[in-house]
Structure 1
Amino acid sequence: MRIGELAERAGTTTRTLRYYESRGLLPARRSVNGYRTYDEEDLRLLQQIRTLQDFGFELEETRPFVECLRAGHPAGDACPASLDVYRRKLAELDELIGRLQTVRDQVGAQLLRAEAELPGGPDPQCEWGG
C-alpha cells in the first residue's frame, strides 16, 4: 500500500509517517517508481506506536516495541527491552502520582484552613457568579 492509504488506515497523517521513517521506526521501502510502499506489518508497527503514545509514552520509548515486532515476535512487549520500558514508565507514573497526591493534600489542607477561619461562613461580598 502507499503512504496515503497507510496513513488513513492508521488514523494518522503522511507527515507523521515520514517523520517516523526519518527516526527509523518505520521502514523506508520504495517501489520501482519511487513511491513509498508499506504492508500489513507496517500497519501493525504503527498501531503499536499509537497505542503506546496514547498511554503517554514518548516516541523514542516505542522503539524497543517496534524492534521486537520487527524481530518477528507476536507482540511488541515480548522482549526484555520492552519490559524495561514498561518498568521505567511505571516508576515515572508512580512518582507523578505521588507528587499529585502531595499537591492534593496541600490544597485540601488549605481549603480546611480557609474554611475554619471563616466565622459564620463565606462573606457574601466575596461570592462570584462562576
Structure 2
Amino acid sequence: MRIGELAERTGTPRRMLRYYEEQGLLVPDRSPNGYREYCERSVDRVLQIRGLLDSGLPTRIIKQVLPCLKLPRAIHVTDAAPETIATLERERDRMTRRIECLVRSRDAISEYVEAVRRNRPRPAAEPPVAPVAPVTSAASAASAASATDYALPLSA
C-alpha cells in the first residue's frame, strides 16, 4: 500500500508517517519509481508508534522499544544494555507520575461536576407565548406594532 492508504487506515497524516521514517521508526520498501510501499504490518506498527507517543515516550526511546514489539500487543524480549533498562525505568516512572496526576485531575473534575449538578436549581418551565397574527398589509403592520412590539407571555 502507498503512504496515502496507510495514512487513511491509521488516521495519521502523511507528513507524520514521513517523520516516523526519518526517525527510523518506520521503514517502507521503495518501488522502482521511488514510491514508498508499506506492508500490512505497517498499519500495526504505526498504531504502536502512536500509542507510545501518546503515552509520552519520546521517539528516541520508542526506537529502542519497537524491536521488542514484534506482533501487535506482544512483547518480544531481547537483551538490553543496562543504560537502556535504566532509561526505560525512568520513563515508566515518569509515566506513572503522569497517570497519577491525570487521575487526580479527572477525579477533581468529576467532583466539581457532581457538586454543580446537586446545587443547580431545576429550570422553570417557560411560560407559553401568545400567538402573533400574520401581517398582511402596511396598515395592519402599524396596528400590530402599536399593540405589541413582541409576543407577550399568556397570564395564568
> TM-score, normalised on structure 1?
0.59
Q: Distance in 2 between matches of 1:97 and 1:75?
A: 20
- Structure with the larger helix share: 1
Which residue matches 2:47? 47
Instruction: Report the count of equivalent residues.
Output: 96
Check whether the contact 1:26–1:42 (CA below 8 A) recurs between aligned residues.
yes
Shift of 1:55: 1.3
- What CA distance in whole angstroms lies between the structure 1 residues aligned with 2:64 and 2:74? 8
d(CA) in 2 for partners of 1:96, 1:75:
22
Structure 2: distance between partners of 1:33 and 1:96: 45
Matched, 1:78 2:82: no
Q: Deviations over 1:20-70 (max 9, x none)?
A: 11111111311122211001111111111111111111122211332224x
Contact residue 7 and residue 17 of structure 1 kept, 8 A: yes
Which structure 2 residues correspond to residues 1-130 of structure 1 after superposition, within 5 A? 1-69=1-69, 72=70, 75=73, 77-80=75-78, 81=80, 84=85, 86-93=88-95
Q: Matched residues in 1 for 2:99 and 2:32: separation?
A: 52
Change (3 A) 1:41 1:96: closer
TM-score, length basis structure 2: 0.51
Check the 8 A contact 2:48/2:72 in 1, yes or no: no
Whole-angstrom distance in 2 between the partners of 1:59 and 1:21: 11
SS in 2 for 1:20: helix
Amino acid at match of 1:38: Y
